């Protein structure tokens, strides 16, 4: 319990830093944010009014304090581009992005683990080299290009899967329809994870195989199945860590994939906001992605401590 508390306490300075970065983004923007709000020929009066209504006339630390206080209450201000409260835009978008990112993470984790295990069991021979090559392809391929190729192949040429969107016309909420729409985006988004995970799984398994306790277990005549279990528990922490990190990266990578597939998520929303230089939306998106990343990492730490009690002691 104290450990959990301690870990969360440690995350607070980081979260504070994230909020500073998210806030500072507006102010490294060349020109005043007001320029995006008022027409160039606006009178000084109108300008002053707009500046005042967005609170831009207060000193920076005060602005930051107010922004953070509001953000902590779930109020991210008003979108400059769409003139609606930012949290109205965010709610559904986060859910849609999580659906995509989790699907991609599951794909990356399963495919990566299977490939990594195959690789480590065949250490050094051609199967290992072939599987390792697949892993390297995974980390080197631009995900958005891979997505385009998948669309060309499976949607345009073969016509098996839909090209974009989350649901077909009038199929809102139909899970099967959603799954069909999810396949290509999730695989495209998860392809990098497959590469990273398989490399990590391979390295972690090989390291565990070489440890004395595996030999000891074998020597005392333990069943293969049980040895595998010991093996998995020992190899798990780095794999869990990398999966957690991957989920965080996938939230970021979704910006590209959602753009290609017109997926109505956080990434698509952010991309739109970038085009309009809609800073409240960008700030909120960055703050949320950073925060989710930190939270995921805390979860991973706990999971690791559960799987491997040795970690708890350090």
Partner 1 sequence: MEIAVKKLEPVKKPDLAEIEETGQRKRSFIHKLYQDPIAWASTIWIVLVIAVAALAPLLTPYSPVSGNVAQRLLTLGSVGHVLGTDEQGRDIVTRILFGGRMTLLMGIAPVAIAAVIGCALGVAAGYFGRVVHAIIMRCLDVFYAFPALVLAIAISAAMGPGVKNTFVALPIVFIAPIARVTESAVKRIKGLEFFEAARASGAGHWMIIRHHVLGNIFRPVFAYGSTLIGISILVASSLSFLGLGVTPPTAEWGNMLGSLKDALFTQPAVAIAPGAMIFLTALSFNLLGDSIQDALDVRS
Instruction: Report the interface residues with partner 1, using CB under 8 A.
Output: 13-15, 17-18, 20-22, 25-26, 28-30, 136-137, 139-142, 144-146, 148-149, 151-152, 156, 163, 192, 196, 200, 203, 238, 242, 245-246, 248-249, 251-253, 255-256, 259-260, 270-271, 273-275, 277, 279, 282, 286, 289-290, 293-294
Which is nearer to partner 1, 266 or 305 (by Cβ)? 266
The answer to whether the CB of 304 falls within 8 A of the CB of 237 is: yes
Least distance from partner 1 to the Cβ atom of residue 284, Å? 12
**Structure tokens belonging to residue 302:** 């706990």
Which is nearer to partner 1, 117 or 147 (by Cβ)? 147
State the distance between the two ends of the chain, measured CA to CA, in whole angstroms: 16
Which is nearer to partner 1, 28 or 219 (by Cβ)? 28
Least distance from partner 1 to the Cβ atom of residue 198, Å? 12
The secondary structure of 224-293 as a DSSP string is HHHHHHHHHHHHHHHHHHHHHHHHHHHHHHHHHHHHHHT--SHHHHHHHHHHHT-HHHHHHHHHHHHHHH
The helix or strand, by DSSP H or E, that contains position 161, with its residue range, turns out to be: none
**Structure tokens belonging to residue 304:** 């690791």
Least distance from partner 1 to the Cβ atom of residue 314, Å? 15
Which is nearer to partner 1, 117 or 266 (by Cβ)? 266
Least distance from partner 1 to the Cβ atom of residue 175, Å? 27
The secondary structure of 62-111 as a DSSP string is HHHHHHHHHHHTT---B-TTT-SBHHHHHHHHHHHHHHHHHHHHHHHHHH
Least distance from partner 1 to the Cβ atom of residue 216, Å? 22
Least distance from partner 1 to the Cβ atom of residue 231, Å? 19
Which is nearer to partner 1, 87 or 254 (by Cβ)? 254
Which is nearer to partner 1, 96 or 197 (by Cβ)? 197
For tokens 């277990």, name the residue.
217
C-alpha 50/C-alpha 29 separation (Å) is: 18
Which is nearer to partner 1, 134 or 227 (by Cβ)? 134
Closest CA to 260 of 161, 149, 154, 153: 149
Least distance from partner 1 to the Cβ atom of residue 279, Å? 8
The answer to whether the CB of 192 falls within 8 A of the CB of 108 is: yes
Residues 6+ apart with CB under 8 A from 103: 182, 186, 190
**Structure tokens belonging to residue 246:** 């991957």
Which is nearer to partner 1, 123 or 172 (by Cβ)? 123
Give the 3-state secondary structure of residue 41: coil
Least distance from partner 1 to the Cβ atom of residue 289, Å? 5
């Amino acid at each position: 319990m104290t450990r959990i508390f301690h870990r969360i306490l440690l995350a607070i300075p980081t979260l504070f830093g994230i909020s500073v970065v998210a806030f500072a983004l507006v102010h490294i923007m060349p020109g005043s944010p007001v320029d995006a709000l008022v027409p160039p020929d606006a009178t000084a009066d109108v300008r002053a009014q707009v500046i005042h209504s967005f609170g831009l006339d207060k000193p920076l630390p005060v602005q930051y304090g107010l922004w953070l206080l509001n953000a902590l209450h779930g109020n991210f201000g008003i979108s400059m581009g769409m003139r609606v409260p930012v949290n109205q835009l965010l709610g559904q978008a986060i859910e849609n992005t999580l659906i995509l990112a989790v699907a991609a993470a599951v794909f990356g984790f399963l495919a990566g683990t299977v490939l990594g295990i195959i690789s480590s069991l065949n250490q050094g021979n051609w199967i290992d080299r072939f599987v390792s090559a697949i892993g390297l392809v995974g980390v080197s391929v631009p995900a958005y290009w891979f997505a385009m190729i998948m669309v060309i192949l499976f949607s345009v040429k073969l016509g098996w899967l839909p090209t974009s969107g989350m649901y077909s016309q009038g199929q809102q909420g139909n899970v099967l329809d959603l799954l069909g729409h999810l396949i290509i985006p999730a695989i495209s988004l998860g392809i990098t994870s497959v590469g990273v995970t398989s490399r990590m799984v391979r390295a972690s398994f090989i390291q565990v195989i070489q440890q004395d306790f595996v030999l000891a277990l074998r020597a005392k005549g333990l069943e293969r199945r049980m040895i595998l279990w010991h093996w998995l528990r020992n190899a798990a922490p780095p794999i869990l860590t990398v999966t957690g990190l991957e989920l965080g990266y996938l939230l970021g990578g979704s910006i590209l994939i959602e753009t290609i597939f017109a997926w109505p998520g956080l990434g698509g929303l952010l991309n739109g906001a970038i085009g309009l230089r809609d800073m409240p939306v960008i700030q909120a998106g960055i703050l949320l992605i950073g925060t989710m990343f930190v939270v995921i990492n805390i979860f991973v730490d706990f999971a690791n401590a559960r799987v491997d009690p040795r970690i708890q002691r350090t």
